[in-house]
Amino acid sequence: MTDNAEQTEDSGFSYAYLYGAAFIILGFILMPQVRGWMKDHGHRWLYVPAVSRPASFLTTPIVRALALRLKVVDVPDARKIHGAPTPLLGGLAVFFGFAFSVFVNNLHSPEATGVAAASAIILIVGAWDDMRRVRATVKMAAQLLACAIVVYSGVRLSFFPPGLLEDAVEIFLTFLWLIGISNALNFLDGMDGLASGLGAIASLFIGITALQTDQPFLMFLSLGLMGGCLGFLPYNLRAGKPAAIFLGDAGSTFIGFTLASLGVLGTWDVNDPIKAFAMPMLILGVLIFDTTFITVSRVVSGKVSSVREWLEYVGRDHIHHKLVDVGLSRRQTVFFIFLVAASLGISALVLRNGRTVDALLLLIQGFNILFLLVILMQKGAGTRNKDNGSPH
């Protein structure tokens, strides 16, 4: 009992020390002299996440206390892997860190305003769903409204010549992309640190790619989101301890929707639509793969037959579940998926000076990497069925 009490005391002291250090760092960074110096010397790319990360880190304990007070907790059950009730609403801290960095750095434009307003709608509906369950039809209506706001603000896919039919197809594909990616990250939010870590990795590679293609505004927004995810991550992915707080639907759908919007906001290559298509597809490849895989398998097996059932269905058929079935620990599974996401992101960076054939080859390479995951997942399914006494 004494050792446990000492460990708890040491842990509390460590977090108090880090919290105080983050508060001092954020206060220093926000000084006008520091902000001006960083901007004048071309270090704004560093300044943006330097604001969003400590802002998110400092806000997370406040959000956690609020969630506990409101009793907004995720209670364990047979399909969940955590063993104790855990507070939700962590996405509010990520949103605050991101929004605060956007405000401090004056990152405003009609497109950014539209994305911010739409993301706020996604966040609010997600928080409502965390506090009291929301029907799938309401969530879908909110997502459609958010998509409409993004498109109305001028953020949409564009690869056809102007025309009524072409515009309708582009808008439809934009809606499909935004809804698909936002729900994909929500579906993958099943292990400590997985969704927030993937959000940080994807944001980083979008930011680097934006730098390569001379899109500073997009780079700043991406790095702001990365900082928000990284500030939350220490509470969600802790060494030797379970998560202190979860993103909740509010956080996972917000991060996913914002990533999807940034992918559409970017002008990746106006002269080569295949390269422009390949870059965001590779960066967000893990999300796209997992959603596509479970959607196809669930439709083929008859488990889902409508959009409503697709949104509401919960099962242990995601890549993180399958990798655990292979024999990886939860921590190993999370970092394995991180490495796959980073590998695909590096492939996207190679395309800066690449040709169309390079884009096609890298897409094939990405497909091969993900197909290796399928082989592992099928191995895991076979192992689990054997353990359960099933002949298949």
Tens digit of each residue's pLDDT (9 = 90 or more) over 296-325: 888 887 787 777 777 777 777 788 888 888
Domain membership of residue 6 (yes or no) is: no
Give dist(CA 387, CA 380) in Å, integer: 11
Which domain range does residue 220 map to? 31-387
Beta bridge partners of 87: 73
Domain membership of residue 1 (yes or no) is: no
Give dist(CA 388, CA 313) in Å, integer: 23
Write down the residue that tokens 């956690």 correspond to.
64
Residue 317: Cβ within 10 Å count = 18
Domain membership of residue 377 (yes or no) is: yes
Domain membership of residue 107 (yes or no) is: yes
The mean pLDDT values, 10 residues at a time, for the chain of 392 residues are: 42 67 86 86 88 95 94 74 79 96 88 91 94 87 95 84 78 93 89 94 94 89 96 90 92 95 81 80 91 85 76 76 84 93 92 83 89 77 49 32
Give dist(CA 140, CA 90) in Å, integer: 22
Domain membership of residue 42 (yes or no) is: yes
Best CA proximity match to 253, nearest among 125, 80, 134: 125
The dihedral of CA 96, 100, 101, 102: what is its sign? Answer: positive
DSSP 327-347: T--HHHHHHHHHHHHHHHHHH
Q: What is the largest CA-CA distance in the chain?
A: 74
User: Side chain identity at 104, as an amino acid letter?
Assistant: V
Predicted local confidence at residue 388, as pLDDT? 47
Tokens coding 98: 């991101």
Residue-wise pLDDT for 364-375, tens only, equals: 999 898 888 888
Domain membership of residue 283 (yes or no) is: yes
Q: Residue 230 to residues 107, 234, 329: CA-CA distances in angstroms?
A: 20, 7, 22
Domain count, the chain: 1
Q: Is the pTM of this model over 0.85?
A: yes
Domain membership of residue 4 (yes or no) is: no
Domain membership of residue 18 (yes or no) is: no
Predicted local confidence at residue 124, as pLDDT? 95
